[in-house]
Amino acid sequence: MPRSLKSIALVVSLGTLISKLGGMARQLVIAWAFGVGAAYDAYSYAYVIPGFLLVLLGGINGPFHSAVVSVLSKREKAEKAEIISSLNIFIGLLLLIITILILTNANLIIHLLGPGLNKDTHALAAKQLKLMAPIALFSGLIGLGFGALSATNEFWIPSISPIISSLTLILGIGIFWMKHSHNINSQDLNFNAGMLLALATLIGAILQWIIQIPVLINKRLIKLNFKFNYNNKGVQQVLKILFPATLSSGMLQINVCTDLFFASNIIGAAAGLSYASLLIQAPLGLISNALLVPLLPTFAKLTKEEDRKRLISRIHQGLILSTTSMIAIGTLFITLSLPIVKLIFQRGAFDQDAVGLVSSLLIAYGVGMPAYLCRDLLVRVFYAMDDGKTPFDLSLIGIGLNFIFDWMLVGGPTPWGAQIPFNLGAPGLVLATSAVNFFTCGALLYKLNRKLGGIPFYSWYLDGLKILFAGFICGSTSWILSNLITWPSQNFGLLLQVLISSSISIIFFGLTSSYLGIKEVNNLFLILTKKITPR
């Protein structure tokens, strides 16, 4: 019997929340132990490629997950195991080659990502990358398995999986700290500490793959067949979506590589980007998974001509809910960036300079949150319609634009000096990515309008303006409460400042949205109470 959006969203939300809390705990431990020092700065560069593959290919809502769900949702149960078996063989061999390439070219990769790194940091990052290279192989297997599980209404394991990596890393740092607590940040231990981070990350990825195997066996989705059946139409459909979708969905991760290229000449920028990104990814990932995971199979089942109006309605619902949640959260990150960063990170090696850097980055990330989630939703609509080419083409354009915007917003560096009279530093790199995401959203909507034969843009535009106004009220309220009230000192005062300011602001946001008559906001509880079973 089909599961309702309510039950799916609750399962995914709970699993994702637990995983995000684990990720936050992991980052707190790293911040406390290493701050923005050499060990974590090197790891930030070494983890770019493995992290790109683990999040992009192995993550829930990644292209492997999305492509498999889009195809398997339309297939009979008996055919699913054969499709997954063939994909595991083909993708496994391809990613094994990529693993070998990473191992043999680690120094070159680090040089390309961080040309401005000093000799010691470069050497450490290269060794970390070599150790984490097998993550490339496991990431694809994880993503294929998660897609197969989601296509059979098994959402708990994919949602909870990331906490395995977080717990492994926390345990590794804990053991290291117990042995070297007196001088964990000394120069002599930077190398060992950095290698420990890499080893724990690799072990965590392997464990993520292992925990899905018993469930796949129970669902009869593992077939001991070492033959790659390319003639299977399901395999062909997945591959048709998969490769362009990988680049399309990974635009943000590819742009991270570009950002790090320019950040290598800014001291501590790479580590700062990692900390700020984590704060953004926590609510973004939670809402994204709760919203997109249930909607993806729905989109896939509404692609017939007779279901066109229902599909447009679902897209509109998803866009409004995405925009509403991201504008509300984004305005809070913008107005409460300093107390949030102080409350979460300021302890141990994480000093006042680090607080200033990360809080400025958090503001920049908050500006772009709505565009990122809306872009993610629109891309999955194209996947559901078996169109991976359109997001792919726009992603190529976006990558080029991101490089240009990065270069411009950090002063236009050249061998002959800066060519632009202003330099926004590390926040400029984040704003560049946000600008690209806004451009991509507009282009995807234009293409979707042509593909669907017309979208009611005017009503969508009005709803967007209403949500922006509600966001302005929310942001103004939080800024006034945060800055005009004298809060108690220390962490307790910061906690009160963040909780009270954000809570009252969100209430004002909800009241304003309701007063302005945003239908999807007023009817939000329908998603939680009404079972929706697309035909």
pLDDT in tens, 44-60: 788 888 887 887 776 66
Burial annotation 434-472 (CB, 10 A radius, 16+ → b, else e): bbbbbbbbebbbebbeeeeeebeeeeeeebbebbeebbe
Residue type, 66: S
Confidence of residue 534 (pLDDT cuts 50, 70, 90): very low
Residue 270, token pair as written in the block: 């790479």
Average pLDDT of the residues in 26-38: 70
Nearest 10 degrees: Cα torsion 280, 263, 37, 124: 110
Q: How many domains does the chain have?
A: 1
pLDDT above 80: residue 77: no
pLDDT above 50: residue 404: yes
273 contact partners, CB below 8 Å, separation of at least 6: 44, 256, 259, 260, 263, 361, 426, 429, 430
pLDDT of residue 533: 39
Choice among 387-391, 417-421, 470-474 with the minimum mean pLDDT: 417-421
386: left (phi over 0), alpha (psi -120 to 50) or beta: left
pLDDT above 60: residue 425: yes
Q: Tell which residue, 455, 289, 310, 299, has the closest CA to residue 385.
A: 299
| Distance in angstroms (rounded) separating the CA atoms of residues 185 and 512 | 49
Is 179 domain-assigned? yes
pLDDT of residue 62: 65
Torsion angles phi and psi, residue 233, rounded to 5: -60, -35
Give me Rg for the CA atoms of the chain: 23
pLDDT above 50: residue 532: no
Residue 209, token pair as written in the block: 């793959």
- The answer to whether the CB of 3 falls within 8 A of the CB of 154 is no
- The answer to whether the CB of 522 falls within 8 A of the CB of 1 is no
pLDDT digits (tens, 9 = 90+) for 296-337: 667 767 777 777 788 888 888 888 888 888 898 899 999 998
Is 19 domain-assigned? yes
pLDDT above 50: residue 531: no
What is this structure's pTM? 0.67
Average pLDDT of the residues in 373-398: 82
Task: Tell which wins on pLDDT, 92 or 252.
Answer: 92
Confidence of residue 281 (pLDDT cuts 50, 70, 90): confident
Average pLDDT of the residues in 154-174: 78
Task: Tell which wins on pLDDT, 82 or 228.
Answer: 82
pLDDT of residue 527: 46
Q: Which range of residues forms the domain containing residue 152?
A: 5-322
pLDDT of residue 427: 85
Task: Tell which wins on pLDDT, 320 or 68.
Answer: 320
| Distance in angstroms (rounded) separating the CA atoms of residues 25 and 21 | 6
Is 516 domain-assigned? no
pLDDT of residue 520: 65
pLDDT above 70: residue 245: no
Residue type, 62: G
Is 448 domain-assigned? no
pLDDT of residue 535: 35
Q: Tell which residue, 4, 54, 375, has the closest CA to residue 155.
A: 4
pLDDT digits (tens, 9 = 90+) for 329-350: 899 999 998 888 888 877 766 7
Report the mean per-residue pLDDT for the chain: 77
Is 388 domain-assigned? no
Q: Tell which residue, 148, 340, 171, 119, has the closest CA to residue 234.
A: 148
pLDDT digits (tens, 9 = 90+) for 220-230: 766 656 666 66
Torsion angles phi and psi, residue 46, rounded to 5: -65, -30
- The answer to whether the CB of 72 falls within 8 A of the CB of 241 is no
pLDDT above 90: residue 74: no
pLDDT of residue 148: 72
pLDDT above 80: residue 155: no
Choice among 100-104, 292-296, 409-413, 444-448 with the minimum mean pLDDT: 292-296
Residue type, 469: F
Residue type, 163: I
pLDDT digits (tens, 9 = 90+) for 95-152: 899 999 999 998 898 888 777 777 888 888 888 899 999 998 888 888 777 777 766 6
pLDDT of residue 530: 47
pLDDT of residue 115: 77
Task: Tell which wins on pLDDT, 303 or 6.
Answer: 303
Confidence of residue 477 (pLDDT cuts 50, 70, 90): very high
| Distance in angstroms (rounded) separating the CA atoms of residues 46 and 60 | 23
Q: Is 288 helix (H, G, I), strand (E, B) or coil?
A: helix
| Distance in angstroms (rounded) separating the CA atoms of residues 287 and 527 | 14
Is 473 domain-assigned? no
Neighbours of 264 (CB within 10 A): 22
| Distance in angstroms (rounded) separating the CA atoms of residues 201 and 169 | 6
Percent of the residues in the chain that have a pLDDT greater than 90, as a whole number:
7
Is 377 domain-assigned? no
Task: Tell which wins on pLDDT, 430 or 255.
Answer: 430
pLDDT digits (tens, 9 = 90+) for 192-216: 777 888 888 899 888 888 888 887 7
- The answer to whether the CB of 200 falls within 8 A of the CB of 172 is yes
The count of residues in the chain is 535
Is 163 domain-assigned? yes
